[in-house]
Each structure stands twice: as structure tokens, then as C-alpha cells.
Chain A
Amino acid sequence: MQLPDSNIALRNLSAIIDFSNNINSNLNLEFALNNLLLTCFGKLKITKGFIALFNDEDELKINLSKGFKSEIFDTFPHVINGKVGIEIFNSYMSANKFGLVKEIVFSDQLLGFLVLGEKLSKEDFSEEDNQFISTVMQIGSAAIRNVQSFEKLSNVNKVLDSKINQLNSIFDLGKEFSSILEIERVSKLLVYSISAQMLVSKYAIVIFNENSNLILESKYEESKLNEIMSSEEINSINSAILLNENNTFCRNCSELGIALIVPMMIKKVKKGLIFLGSRITKNQYSKSDIEYISSIASFAIISIENSRLFDEALEKQKLEKDLEIARSIQQNLLPKKLPKSSVYQIDAVNKTAKMVGGDYFDIVEISKNEILIAIADVSGKGIQASLLMANLQAFLKSIYKQNYKLQEASNFLNDLVSENTTNGSFITFFWGILNLENKQFTYVNMGHNPPLLIRDKKITKLKKGGMILGVMKTVIPYEYETVELKSNDAIILFTDGVTEAMNINNEEYGDERLENLCLQNSENEAKSILKKILADVELHTKGANQSDDITSLILKIN
């Protein structure tokens, strides 16, 4: 039955109004295209059709298809708007014998194509059909354009939102990192922020210490991570590196599924690395993501560095406190005043180095007729040396009160020190007793720099004795020697802090220079000889740091 023309027009019109109302009611592309296709299907009795639109990259992509078997899209050509593939597209279209192909155009801009299959009735498309489709397409193309703009805008908004979110995160961390934090805390906050922002659950943070790597956080096996850290490629990293599945950059990294490596830099120096696995969303890390990670990484590493410097300063302060204690122990062990006698003169000095060595000397009037002098250099520095020195002094004081002969006392002293020292400490030690009546000087040298006996411009070194004190218990008894001192004899005792005093060129003061100086000045008083020695050593070491204690003791017979 043939319908009157006016009825056809009315039906077309109502379909168009219906379509127009619908398509503009929803800002969803799929909905709009669906509506467009279904309206054509319904009005023209068609069962197959698809819509292909150019995407943001101007590539033609099928957005919606109905009724066609998917195989026919296997050969769908790659078309770029206004550039390539339009001939292939045309031949694809004619090869597949589609019923109708219409360009979707909005104000001279080609948005894509509407492709329809044959009519169910196998009839050709009539003039009216064509007109209907044209009208629908005009309304449809405007709607498509609207939706596309809206989607583009909401994508831009989303990108902006996530940028704002990243900035907030940077701001949040920056605030937190600006105060001194424990390193563990900093790395925790860092991984919290990254794992949330990037939605990544596998990560590791490694920082470089002076000669080792410190793994702060790791969701990977540590041995594997260490293997990676020792590889050449990792050493060469100076900027963020994206790894895809078939990269050849770092095989071990791909095995662990590491997708991104970001160095943590301070002033262009690499201080650590952040390893990240792939994102749960399967999205690639974008340039802006990497920028974000790099920014908070540099905040974090500065905070870590600060924390480390803070700890170091604290440690140094503690050490200095230790040294102060050591120095005061040491000073308290030394005799407060020197004895005076008509038979001899004595003078001594102990200049402690910054690091506090273990020099010690003592002068004790054992009886009316006897005076004991001792000089020692305890191994080690700081508190440990001071405590050993205090022990030595205690042993010394208890032994000489027992009235042992010096040789026996030496054997006994060595046993005591050996028993009471640990981890290889030892003492170079020299002691001697001067009898004021007969001026006999009996001494034992236990590995100490031999004191110089100067008589008539000649030097005799006082070497008799035995092993260094405290190395092992006495097996071979110490030897002793007694020298008859004469008027004007001088004995110069010193520690290696004198002969090994360094100048700015790291040259030692030396035994020879000391011996020559003493020979030249042996006629002088004890006090003056000591002054000369100190002045000459000072001259030598001018501008250099004192590296060891300097101790010297001069005994001069009147």
C-alpha cells in the first residue's frame, strides 16, 4: 500500500524530532552514535551499519558497529584525515559492497563516516531516504562534535586535576621534608606518595653511602636488587629511564618487572635511585609523572642528606665530648708539680694532640734517696688510651710501694698489663730510678724510644730492657742496666710524638735533628733544654696539625 506523500513527510519529521531530542540529551559519544545508527536502521529498514570517526591523532577508528561480522574489520585500512589512505579506504568500501557511505561533516570539517548495509528489502536507497539521512546527519554531526569537545574538555580537566593533585602532594611532602626527619621516615613518605599517585605496588629505594648501597625500601628480593645495583648500566644512569618489556638496557630489571628508574640527584650528583614496577592501571608513566617523581625524589634526597649530616654532626659532638673526657683523665694522671733537689734538675712537658694520644710520664720520690722517673706511650687514642694509661699508673703506684727491685717490678708490671689489656693494646715504657747518694741510675726500657744520655758531647742510648709492655706475659725476664751518672750529665726522655712530628710536607722531625739539638744544648739547664726542643719542633711543624701527643722529660745532674 502506497502512503500519501504528506504522511511520509510527517513520519520522517517526527523521527527527526525524536532523534534530535534524544541525541542532544546526553553528552556521551557512544549514546549519540548508537542513536544515530538506530534511527537510520529503524527508518530505512537496515540491519547492518557502522560509524568510524577520526580520533585526536586524526586516525580513522571504528567507534560503533552493528550487524557486521567482525572479520570485515580485519582489513579496515589505516587512514589519516586529509593525509594518507583515502584511496585504500575507497577501495575497501567498494570491495565490501556496503549499501551507503556518508561523510560526517561539521562546518566543513570531516569528522568520519557513516556506513550502512543494504536495506532488508534489497531495494536501492531512494531520494527520500537520502534526504532523511542527510537531515539526520546534519543534526548528528553537530551532536558528535559537541560530545567530542566535551570529552576532550573533561580529559583536559582530568589531566589538570591530576596535575593539581600531584602539586598538592609535592607541597604536602615539601612541608614535611623541610623538618629534620629520620631517613626511614622520609623514604616511607616517599613510597607512600609515589605508590598512591602512580598506583604502583612494586618499588624500591636505594641510596648510596660512602662505599655501599643502602636499601631503604624494597618490594623486590634484595639479592636481585643488589645484583642490579652492581651492574654497569645502573651506574651510568643520570636521568629517568623508562623500561619497556623488550628493552636491552638492563636484563635483570626486566626480569623483576621494573618499568621506571628515577635517579635522586643533589646538584647533579646521583645520591640514590628509585625503582618502580609497572602501574596497576597498565598506563605508561607519562612525562609529567616522571617530573612529579623526580621532584619529590629530589625533596626526599635533600631531606635524607640533611638527616645524615645532622647525625654526623651529632656523632662528631659526641666524639669531641669523649676526647674532652680523655684529655681530662690524662691531665689528671700527670704529676701536678715537679720535685726540686740540689742533686738534679728535672723538667717535663706533655702537649696533647687534638685526637688525644696516650702519652704519659711520671716522677715519684720513692724515698729520701730515690726518685723514679717513667715515660710511656699507650697504643690507641682517645678514651681507650686514657683508660689504659690510668690502669698503668695504678699498677705503677702499687708496684713501687712493694719495694721490688726494678727488674722484678718490670716483670711483674708486664704480667699485670698483659692480663688487663684487650684487643692488642700495648705500651712502650721506660722507667728508671736515680739514687741521689751515689748517682746511680738503674733503668729498664720496655720498647720505648731509647732516652738519650748525654755526657761530654756524646750520646749513649738507654736501650737495655726487653719486650714492649703488655703484648704477652713475661717469658724472658727484663734486663736492666745501671749507669753511674756524673755532674752535668743529661738524660733526654721523649715519645715518638717528638721525633715523628710532621711538617706541612708530611716530613718527620727525626731522631737525628733531636740528637743534634740536644748535643748543642746539653750544657744548659734542664728547663732550657726542654724549651729548645719544644721550640725546634714547633719551628718544624709550623702550619701543620699536631697529630700525636708530644711528651718530653729532661733529667740533669747538677
Chain B
Amino acid sequence: MAEFDVGKHGVGPISILNVKGYLDAHTAPELENAFNSLINDKQYKVVVNFRDLKYISSAGLGVFMAYVETMRENNGDIKFCGLKDDVFNIFDLLGFPLLYEFYKEEKEAIDKFNQG
């Protein structure tokens, strides 16, 4: 089954990752690959758009933990946008809003990067 997919495109110096489907322990490697290739290309400003994400597990969340330091050390960040309520609740439950910026619209996240 087509469980998970991650699409990538750039808006100026900012990379947008569109995550789709189910992000769990099984599919986490695909997201890791996407982040690894961003780091290879020295793309440290990342907006993850969750509009099409149906489910996320802890292992999936952990991928963001694993890469955020690298991005920030290189003057970048990982910002989140477009989360459905139930997906956001999981982030919220675990305290992610303490560490990450969440936006409703992709544009807000991009603007935030451009201001900074």
C-alpha cells in the first residue's frame, strides 16, 4: 500500500516538504532520506506541510527531533504548517510547541523565515 510519501520543492531559499499519508516507524526512513538530502544540499530552512498527513507516530515525530539541531546550528529551522487538529493534538500532547513553530498556512511559515 502507498502508505507515505514526501514531496519536496523550493520557495527561494526555503525548502518545503509535503508529507502525505501515514508516518510511522515503518515509513520514517523516507522522511529521513528527505532530510539527509536537504542537508547534503545545504538546505537548512525547512517548512513541513502536514496538509495531507493522516497519521503520525512517535517514531515519525522523532525524525524532526533528530534533524532540528542540525538545521538550527546552520541558521535554519524546521517549521510546521497545515496540521489537522488530530495531528496537531499529538504534537501538542508531547510538548512540541515548546520547541517548534506551528503555522496554519504555509505562507506564514515562509514569511517568518524571510523576516528572520
Asked if A172 is at the interface of the complex by the 8 Å CB criterion, the answer is yes
Taking a contact as CB atoms under 8 Å apart, the answer to whether A201 and B93 are in contact is: no
Query: 0/1 per residue, A128-171, Cβ < 8 Å to B?
Result: 00000000000000000000000000000010011001101100
Q: How far is the CA of A164 from the CA of B54 in the complex (A)?
A: 17
Give min CB distance, A458 to chain B, whole Å: 77
User: Assuming A161-B89, A168-B57, A280-B99, is B63 touching A192 (CB within 8 A)?
Assistant: yes
Whether A194 touches B62, Cβ cut-off 8 Å, given contacts A175-B25, A176-B25, is yes
Q: Could you tell me if B93 and A192 are in contact, using CB atoms closer than 8 angstroms? A: no
Would you call B25 and A173 a contact (CB within 8 A)? yes
What is the bound-complex CA distance between A173 and B57, given in angstroms?
9
CB A544 to nearest CB in B, in angstroms, measures: 49
Among the listed B25, B63, B98, which residue makes an inter-chain contact with A172, where contact means beta carbons less than 8 Å apart?
A: B25
Q: Is the CB of A280 within 8 A of B95?
A: yes
Chain B residue contacts of A168, Cβ below 8 A? 57-58
Nearest CB to that of B25 among chain A residues? Answer: A176
B1 at the interface (CB under 8 A from A): no
Q: How far is the CB of A204 from chain B (nearest CB, A)?
A: 14
Q: Which of A164-189 contact B (CB under 8 A)?
A: 165-166, 168-169, 172-173, 175-176, 185, 188-189
Check B57 against A172 for contact (C-beta < 8 Å): yes
19 contacting pairs across A/B (C-beta < 8 A): A162-B94, A165-B90, A165-B93, A165-B94, A168-B58, A169-B58, A172-B24, A172-B26, A172-B57, A192-B25, A192-B58, A193-B62, A195-B62, A196-B65, A199-B98, A201-B65, A201-B69, A280-B98, A280-B99
Interface residues of A in 43-64 (CB under 8 A from B): none
For B65, list chain A residues within 8 Å (CB): 192, 195-196, 199, 201
Q: Is the CB of A197 within 8 A of B25?
A: no
Whether A189 contacts B59 by the Cβ 8 Å rule is yes
Contact A199–B96 (Cβ < 8 Å): yes
Counting CB contacts under 8 A, is A191 at the interface?
Answer: yes
Size class of the contact patch on chain B: 20 to 34
Q: Return the CB mask of B47-58 against A: 1 if under 8 Å, else 0.
A: 000000000011
Cα A513 to Cα B61 in complex, Å, equals 73
**Residues 187-215 (chain A) with a chain B CB within 8 angstroms:** 188-189, 191-197, 199, 201
Residue contact A281 to B98, C-beta cutoff 8 Å:
yes
* Nearest B residue to A158, CB-CB: B93
Point out the residues of chain A lying under 8 angstroms from B89, CB to CB.
161
Q: Give A176 to B59 CA distance when docked, in angstroms.
A: 11
- Residues on B with C-beta less than 8 A from A195 are 62, 65-66
A-B Cβ contacts below 8 A, count = 80
Residues of B within 8 A of A169 (CB): 57-59
Q: Judge whether B28 is part of the interface by a CB distance below 8 angstroms.
A: yes
CA distance A280 to B61 in the complex (A): 15
Q: How far is the CA of A158 from the CA of B94 in the complex (A)?
A: 10
Partner of A192, one of B26, B28, B99: B28
Residues of B contacting A162 in the complex (Cβ-Cβ under 8 angstroms)? 93-94
For the complex, give the distance between the alpha carbons of A185 and B27 in Å.
12
Cα separation A161 to B94 with both chains bound (whole Å)? 10
**For A196, what are the chain B residues with a Cβ–Cβ distance below 8 Å?**
58-62, 64-65, 94
> Which of under 10, 10 to 19, 20 to 34, or 35 or more describes the interface residues of A?
20 to 34
| A197 & B99 in contact (Cβ 8 Å cutoff) | no
CA A173 – CA B24 in complex, angstroms? 8
Docked pose: A188 CA to B60 CA in angstroms: 11
B55-106 interface with A by 8 A CB criterion: 57-66, 69, 89-90, 93-96, 98-99
CB neighbours (8 Å) of B57 from chain A are: 168-169, 172, 193
Minimum C-beta distance from B102 to chain A (A): 15
CB of A164, distance to nearest CB on chain B (Å): 9
Candidate in B32, B63, B69 with the most chain A CB atoms within 10 angstroms: B63
Which residues from 481 to 535 on chain A have a C-beta closer than 8 Å to any C-beta of chain B? none
Neighbouring A residues of B95 by C-beta, 8 Å: 199, 280-281
Closest chain A residue to B63, Cβ basis: A192
What 8 pairs between A and B have smallest CB-CB spacing? A192-B62, A196-B61, A169-B58, A176-B25, A196-B62, A195-B65, A193-B58, A172-B57
B96 & A192 in contact (Cβ 8 Å cutoff) = no
Q: Which of A351-369 contact B (CB under 8 A)?
A: none
| Minimum distance in angstroms from A166 CB to a CB of chain B | 8
Find the B residue at minimum CB distance from A296: B58
Q: Known A-B contacts: A173-B59, A189-B62. Give 15 more (CB < 8 A).
A: A165-B94, A169-B58, A175-B25, A176-B25, A189-B25, A191-B62, A192-B63, A192-B65, A192-B66, A196-B61, A197-B58, A197-B61, A199-B94, A201-B69, A280-B95
Decide: B59 and A193 in contact? CB cutoff 8 A. Answer: yes
- Give the CA-CA distance A201 to B66 in the complex, in Å: 8
Task: Find the residue from A175, A176, A189 having the highest chain B CB count within 10 A.
Answer: A189
| Chain A 451-474 interface mask (CB, 8 Å, partner B; 1/0) | 000000000000000000000000
- Cβ contacts under 8 Å, A189 to chain B: 25, 28, 59, 62
Give min CB distance, A275 to chain B, whole Å. 16
Given known pairs A162-B93, A172-B25, the reply for A192 and B98 (CB within 8 Å) is: no
**Residues of A contacting B64 in the complex (Cβ-Cβ under 8 angstroms):** 196
Closest to B91 in A: A196
B26 touches A175 (CB 8 A): yes
Q: Which residues of B contact A158 (CB under 8 A)?
A: 93
* Cα distance A166–B58 in the bound complex, in angstroms: 8
Q: With a CB–CB cut-off of 8 A, which chain A residues contact B98?
A: 199, 280-281
> With a CB–CB cut-off of 8 A, which chain A residues contact B58?
165-166, 168-169, 172, 192-193, 196-197
